[in-house]
Structure 1
Amino acid sequence: MRIQYGLLSVFLAFAPPAYALDASSPPVLAPLQQQAQAARLSAEFLSRYHYKPVPLDDALSAKIMERFLKALDPDRFLFVQTDIDEFMGDSTKIDDAINKEDLRIPFSIFNVYEQRVVDRLTYARSLLKQNFDFSVKEDYPFVRDKEPWPKSEAESDELWRKRVKNDWLRLKLAGKTDAAIRDTLDKRYQNSLERAYKYKSDDVFQIFMDAYTTSIEPHTDYFGATASAEFDISMKLSLVGIGAVLQEREDYTTIRELMAGGPAQLSGKLAVGDRITGVGQGERGPIKEVVGTRLDEVVKMIRGAKDSVVRLDILPADAGPDGKHRVISLVRDKISLDKQAAKKTILSIKDGDATRKIGVITLPAFYEDFEARRKGDKNYRSASRDVARLLAELKKDKIDNVLIDLRNNGGGSLAEAIDLTGLFVGKGPIVQERNAGGEVNVEKDNLPAPAWTGPLAVLINRGSASASEIFAAAIQDYGRGVIVGEPSFGKGTVQTVVNLDQIARNSKPKFGELKMTVAQFFRINGGTTQLRGVTPDITLPGFSDPKSFGESSYDNALPWAQVKPADYTPIGDVKALLPQLQNLHDARVQKDPDFQRFVEDMADLKAQREKRVISLNETERRDEMAAQASRVKSREKVNDGTGTGDDDDSADATTQDDGLQANERSLSADIAIEKARKSAKDVLLNEAAHILGDEADLLAGVPKLAAQQPANNTTGK
C-alpha cells in the first residue's frame, strides 16, 4: 500500500477564535507545521485505506471534539459550561482545520485546559489554610463522567472544596495529623500544578490525534516519536540503556529497580532509591541538570547507542537534599525485558492421594522482534519461540499437564498467535482474515506435529485481547483444551503500522506512524471474536467491569459478523466433558474458603463501582471502615478454622487505604505493597489448574476421547 505524496503545502492562514486566558497563564503552546502536515497525511490514509473508511466531515469533526474534551477532562472537574459552549462553537470546524493544515483549534483548547488546571489547583492549595468540619452530613460526587460541567466558577469551587475535603478525610482516617495532612496535600497539588508547566507541543498533538483516530474506530492509533519507540520496545522486549527502572518522586528521577545483568546493576555503583540529578553524554560531555525534568525526557537522555557512555550525577538514597553527590560512568548495553517475556512455573495440585504437576506458562504479550527477523537473525526473539523452549524444559521436568495463562495479554503479533497455536494443534488453519474488499484468507500453521499433545487449558480474562483471542478461539474450536476464566475483550480486528515519513519520503523522522485497522479476523468455525470475545468453557469471577472495559464498552466498535467456516478437523471434543467439569468445579469452590473470599471481594468491588458518591461525614466513613474490618476478621476466623480469629489490625494492612498516592509513600513502603500484591495467593490460577486436572482425569477415563490424545513424544520448533 503506497501513494505518491509530494511536497506538503505550507501553513495556511485560518483564524479560529482565540479563547481568553488569564495573565498568569502557563506557557502557551502552538502547533508545529510538521504536526499539521502529519494530521493531513493521516486523514488521507484513514479516509481511503481504513477497514471502515469514515469521511472527515462535520459529523466526524464533532466526535473528535467530544473525545478531545473527554481526554482532557474525563470527570468534568476542570472546565465550566461556558468553556464547553465556546469550544463547541468550533466542533464542526476540526475537519476543515485538518484539511487546511491548521491545528490552532485543539491547541487553543489545550491552553485553556492548562489554565484551568492552574486555577483549580491554586484554589485547592488555598483551601488547605482552613479547617474542615467532618460532622456535617454531605456527599462528594467523585465519579462525574456523566454529570454536567459546573455552570459557574462558584459551582466549580464548591466541587473542589469537596474534593479537597475528601483527600483530607482519607488521610485523617489513616491516622495522619492535621500538620502532616496539610504538608502532604500541599506537595501533591504543587506537583500536579508543576506538571501543567511541563507540557509540550508533542503532548497536545498526541492527545488530539488519539481523539481523531479513535473517533473512527477504537483500535486505530497515531504514534508520535515517543509512542513509536515504546511500541517497538514492547515488541522486541529489548532496548539499549543502563538497565534501571526509574520513577519520578518529588522532582527527582529515582531508581526503583536495578535489572539483573544490566550495566547499572553490574557496576555496583547504584542502589534502589538513588536519585539522578544530572545526565551527561560521553566521557567528557557536560552534565545537564535534570531535577524537575519530566521522566520521559530523562529516560531519552539515558538511553542511547550500544557501547556508548552515559554519565550520571547521583544523589545517594541516604543523603539529604544538600548531601554529597557522585558522578558515575556507565556503558550502555542491550537490555532484555525478561519480566515481560514468557515464563514458566510448576504447580503441584493434590487430588486425593495423588499429586499432579501442572506446567504453567504465563505469556504477557505476543511479542516479536520484527527488525531482527527481517534481517535474517536466526536467533530473533518471539513469543512462540520462547514458549517452545519452555515446553521442552517442562517436558524434562516431567509435568503432567500444561496451562497457558493469557490474563491481561492484550495481543501483539498476528504471526506469533498463529505460530503459538501451532505448538498445540500442529498443521492446519488457525484464523481467517477478511480485508476491506471482503476477501477472506485462511491463515495456517505448517508445523508438522505439535510440541505438546497432552491435556491443555487456557486461562483468560477481560484483558485478554486480539492475538490472545485468536489463540484461545482456535484451541476451543479444535477441542484441544478447556478455556477457563472471564469472557475476553472482544477485539477482532487487525492493524498494520504505516510509517508516514516513508510515505512522504522524508529524509528524517517528522510525521510519526499510523496504526490502522485494515482487516477483521474470524475463527475457523466462521464466527468472530469481535465485540463478543471468547466465551470460556468454565467461567470464573473477575475484576473487570464490562460496562467500562472491553470492546462492547466502545460506542463505535465494529459489529459481530460471520463468514464461512474453514476446512479443519477437530482434535478433541472438550464440549462433551463440560457438564462434568462444571459440576466438579462448582463442588470444589463451594468448599474453598480462598475462592469464596475472592467471590466476596468481587461483590464488594462491584458494589463500590456502582457508588458514584462518597460520604464526607467522618462518623459514617469510620463506620464503613469498621464494617470492612469486621468482615476481614470474620473471614480470618473461618480460614484458620479455630473460630477465634486474630486481633492484629495489621493483618490486612496492604488493603487498607492510607490516603497516599504511590509517590507519596516511602520507596521501601511502596515496593513492599507491590511485592505483597504480587505474592498474594492466585486463587483463579489454582482453580484453573484443578479444572485442568479434572479434564485430564476425564480424558483418561473416556476411551473415545483418550484415543484422540496422541502420546506426547513429539518435539516443537
Structure 2
Amino acid sequence: MSPFAMVRQAVVFALCVVMALPTLAAEQDRIVPTDNGEQTAQEVAQSLRYSHYEDVSLDQQWSETAWQRMLKMIDPQHAYLLKSDVRQYSDLGSNFSEALENGNLDRLYEFYNLYQKRIENRLQWLLDQLEHTEHFDFEGHDRLATDDEDREWASSPSRLDELWHKRLKNAALQLALSGSPEDSDTRQPGETPEPEIPGNPRQSDDPEQHDDESESGKSEDSLRMMDDQAIISQLEKRYSNQLDRVRQTNSEDVLSVILNAAGSAIDPHTEYFSPSRSESFDIQMKLSLEGIGALLQQDGEYVKISSLVPGGPAEKSGLLKPADRIVAVGQGESGDMTSVVGMRLDEVVDLIRGPKDSTVRLEIIPAKAVDTTQTRIVRITRDTVKLEDQAASSQVIDITRDGERHRIGVIKVPMFYVDFKAEKQGRKDYRSTTRDVHQLIDQLKQKNVEGIVLDLRGNGGGALQEANSMIGLFIDRGPTVQVRDAQGRISLLGDTDRGVAYQGPLAVLVDRLSASASEIFAGAIQDYGRGLVLGNQTFGKGTVQTLDDLDHGELKLTRAKFYRITGASTQLHGVKPDISYPSLVDPDEIGESALPNALPWDTVRPVSYRQYGNPDRYLPPLRQAHQQRTSQDPNFHYLEREAELAHKLREQNNSVSLNIHQRKREMEAQESEQLSLENQRRKALGQEPIDSWADARDGEDDQTPIDQAQLRESANIVLDYAQQLQDSGS
C-alpha cells in the first residue's frame, strides 16, 4: 500500500465543532437526504454484507456499533449532545442497518439536524458570553478535566454550561499566556475552543500554592501577553468563523458521516469517499499534488500528522513529525492564522495545499509535547514530490575497534516504488526499488563492507511486488507472504529468481511508522533467519483494501489479510524487533492498535521454507553488547529518559489548572525537566548547553542526533553479528 493510500484509510468526515439548546432548525434549514445518497447507502450496505473480508452480519449488534461510532465521530467528548438526545434516537442502535439497506436515511438525518442545531446554539452561546465579558479572572482553584473519554452525557443544558464556562476560560487563558500568533514561533495554542488536550501538565499536590505566587509579587497581569479586549476579539472571530463553517454543512457531508460510521464499525480502513474526495485523492495518487507531503488524519477535534511522504517538503525540513497536531494554518510568511481545531479534514487539507514555492505556516502541538500549551509555528515551502527524493540511497559507516577500521553499509529505502508505466512499455532502464537496491549493494560490496543495514524507518509501504522481489536479493527463491481472501483462499507470493545479490550479515532497521510492505519485508527476513530486525515494533497494517466504484462516489473495502510464512499475521502486532530501541512515538497514538475496530491478529497454516541462519542463538551476547554501548551513549540515554518522562506525564495527568499562576508553574516545571534532559545530553557530548527548551525544538537540532545514533548503533550491532558469525564458523 502506497504512502498516499494511507490518506484514504485516515479520512473521517467528523464535523467536530460545538453544540446547545434543543430547538430544532426551521424546516427550510434542515439538511435532508438526496436520492443519490439513499441509493449510495444501499450500495454500501450490500458491499459490506457480501464483499468485505470479514463475515459481516448487519444485525442489531452491528447497528449498535455503527450508532456508537457515529456518536463518537460527531461528539467524541460528549460536549454537545444531551443524554435525552441520545435516548430519543436510541432506536438507531437497532435500526442503523435497516436504514442503510432500505436507503431510508430520514431518521439518521433527523438526528444529525438536532446535533447540527446543538453546535450552532453552543457557538452562539459562546459569542453571547463574550459579549457580556469585560474581564477574565484567572485566579481561583478550578481545573478543567482533560480525560473526556469516560464523561457521561450531560443531563441538562445547564450541566454543559458548567463545562463550557471552563472551556471558554481555558481558551482565554491560553491566549493570555500566548499572545498573538505572530508574536513568537514558539507559543501556547490560541486556537482551541474545545481543547482535547492530549498530554497534560502535572497537577500540583498542593492547591494552596495558587495564592503563593501573588504573594511573591507577581500579579496576574504581569503574566499576561494579551489583554482582555484582544482575547475577546480573537475568540469572537474564532467562534464566528466556526459558526459560518457549521452552517455550510450539506447533505453530502452528513452522508459521509453516516457511511463512514458504518464502515468503521467493521474496521478502520473501510470507508466511503464522496465524488469530491475521490477526485482530490486521485490527484494525490498521481503525485501531482503540490503541497508539503504530510498525510493527515482526524483525531477528535484535531487533525494530526499520520505520516510524512518520503522526499516531501515536510520530511526534508525536519520540522514536522508523526502525531504532531495542527491547530492553525497561515498563508505566506506573515498574516492571520486560521484555527483548524474542530475543522473537517478535507477543509484542513485545502488550507495546507498551495502552489509550488509558496509558504504555509502551521501552528502545531508537537507529538512529544505533554501539554497543549507547548505549541510552535513552523514554515514549510510547498513543492512537488520527486521520484529521486524517494529513491533508495546508501552510505558507509566507519567503526574503529582495537585500532582497526571496520566498514558497515547502510541502504535507506523510504518506500517501495516502481515505474509501472516504463515497466509495461518494456523499457530496460525502468526504475524500481529492487533494481536500485541491487546497484547499491554492488557498490557497497566494492567498498568491502562487513555487513549491511537496511533502513526502513518511516517506510509506509508501497508496491507489494517490490517488497517481494527485494526479499529475493537476500534469499535464493522461496515464499515471502501469504494473502488470505474473504472466502478463506490463500495465495502464496514469493521470489522466483535464482541467486542472491548479498549473502553477508544483515539487519533491518524499523520503527512504528514502518508499515504494510515494510512489515512483509522485515517479517520475511526475520522468519528466514536471514538477518536481524532492530528498532521498534512496526505499525501492524496487515490488511488489503480495494477501491470500488459506486454510482455516487467510491468505497474503499477491506478484502484480504497478510500473513507471514510462519502463518502469523502482521495485522495489529506488526513485526517485533530482535533488539528494541526506545521510542518517543506513543503506540496508543500511532499504529493499527490505535485505530477503532482494528481487525484481530490471527494465524493460518505455515508454509515450507528454507532456514538461512539462526540469529536467535547470537541474541544474548548481541543484546549485552548493545546495552553496554547505549548505556554510555548520551543520545540513547536521552531518548530513553525522555520517553519515560513523556509516558509518566501522560499517565499522571488528567486535568489542567485554570489559575494563571499554577498553569505557568506547570508549564515551567515540564520545560525544566525537558531542558535538564537535553542539557545532560549536550554536556556528555561536549556541546554548549542551551538556555531554553524552545531552542532544542528546531527540527534537525533535536532529531537528527537521535536518528544518527540509532543508525550508528545498528551498524555496531551488525558488526558484532558479523564477528559472532565469523567466530562460530557460520
Q: TM-score, length-normalised on structure 2?
A: 0.71
Match of 2:88 among 86, 89, 96: 86
Match of 2:159 among 130, 143, 155: 155
The alignment status of 1:631 with 2:680, answered yes or no, reads no
- Does the CA contact (< 8 Å) of 1:577 and 1:695 recur in 2? no
CA distance in 2, matches of 1:118, 1:382: 52
State the one-letter code of the partner of 1:203. D
State the one-letter code of the partner of 2:509. L
Alignment: residue pair count:
599
- Does the CA contact (< 8 Å) of 1:344 and 1:359 recur in 2? no
Partner of 2:143: 139
After TM superposition, the structure 1 = structure 2 runs for residues 485-504 of structure 1, keeping only pairs within 5 Å, are 485-500=535-550
Partner of 2:604: 563
Shift in Å, 1:429: 0.7
What CA deviation, in whole Å up to 9, does each residue of 1:321-352 have, x standing for no partner?
xxxxxxxxxxxxx9555498345363645444
Shift in Å, 1:622: 2.3
The alignment status of 1:166 with 2:216, answered yes or no, reads no
Larger RCO (CA within 8 A; separation ≥ 6): 2
CA distance in 1, matches of 2:280, 2:434: 21
What CA deviation, in whole Å up to 9, does each residue of 1:252-288 have, x standing for no partner?
xxxxxx999xxxxxxxxxx95599xxxxxxxxxxxxx
Q: Secondary structure at the match of 2:94?
A: coil
Change (3 A) 1:338 1:534: same
CA distance in 1, matches of 2:312, 2:681: 38
- Does the CA contact (< 8 Å) of 2:540 and 2:573 recur in 1? yes
Partner of 1:46: 48
Partner of 1:68: 70
After TM superposition, the structure 1 = structure 2 runs for residues 142-291 of structure 1, keeping only pairs within 5 Å, are 142-174=146-178, 176-178=225-227, 179-229=229-279, 231-232=281-282, 235-236=285-286, 238-239=287-288, 273=333
Shift in Å, 1:202: 2.9
State the one-letter code of the partner of 1:622. K
What CA deviation, in whole Å up to 9, does each residue of 1:616-673 have, x standing for no partner?
2223222223323433443355334499997864453465xxxxxxxxxxxxxxxxx5
Change (3 A) 1:645 1:546: closer
Shift in Å, 1:64: 0.9
What CA deviation, in whole Å up to 9, does each residue of 1:133-152 have, x standing for no partner?
22211211123122112222
CA distance in 2, matches of 1:101, 1:22: 24
- Does the CA contact (< 8 Å) of 1:235 and 1:412 recur in 2? no
Partner of 2:365: none
Partner of 2:660: 618
Partner of 1:324: none
The alignment status of 1:341 with 2:409, answered yes or no, reads no
Q: CA RMSD in A?
A: 4.2
The alignment status of 1:693 with 2:716, answered yes or no, reads yes
State the one-letter code of the partner of 1:437. Q
What CA deviation, in whole Å up to 9, does each residue of 1:447-478 have, x standing for no partner?
33334444332222333333222111101111
Change (3 A) 1:569 1:604: same
The alignment status of 1:528 with 2:569, answered yes or no, reads yes
Partner of 1:703: 726
Change (3 A) 1:554 1:580: same
After TM superposition, the structure 1 = structure 2 runs for residues 342-491 of structure 1, keeping only pairs within 5 Å, are 342-344=391-393, 346=395, 348=397, 350-352=399-401, 353=403, 359-366=409-416, 383-384=433-434, 387-388=437-438, 401-491=451-541
The alignment status of 1:598 with 2:646, answered yes or no, reads no
Change (3 A) 1:432 1:152: same
CA distance in 2, matches of 1:457, 1:608: 34
Change (3 A) 1:134 1:521: same
Change (3 A) 1:154 1:696: same
CA distance in 1, matches of 2:705, 2:687: 23
Q: Secondary structure at the match of 1:39?
A: helix
Change (3 A) 1:23 1:58: closer
Shift in Å, 1:378: 7.0
Partner of 1:328: none
Partner of 1:575: 616
Q: What stretches of structure 1 of length at least 5 have no aligned partner?
A: 1-18, 248-257, 261-270, 276-292, 304-311, 318-333, 501-509, 656-672, 708-717
Q: Secondary structure at the match of 1:88?
A: coil
Q: What stretches of structure 2 of length at least 5 have no aligned partner?
A: 1-20, 179-223, 296-310, 314-330, 336-345, 362-382
What CA deviation, in whole Å up to 9, does each residue of 1:529-562 have, x standing for no partner?
2332211101122234444554445674444333
CA distance in 1, matches of 2:441, 2:276: 36
Match of 1:30 among 9, 28, 32: 32
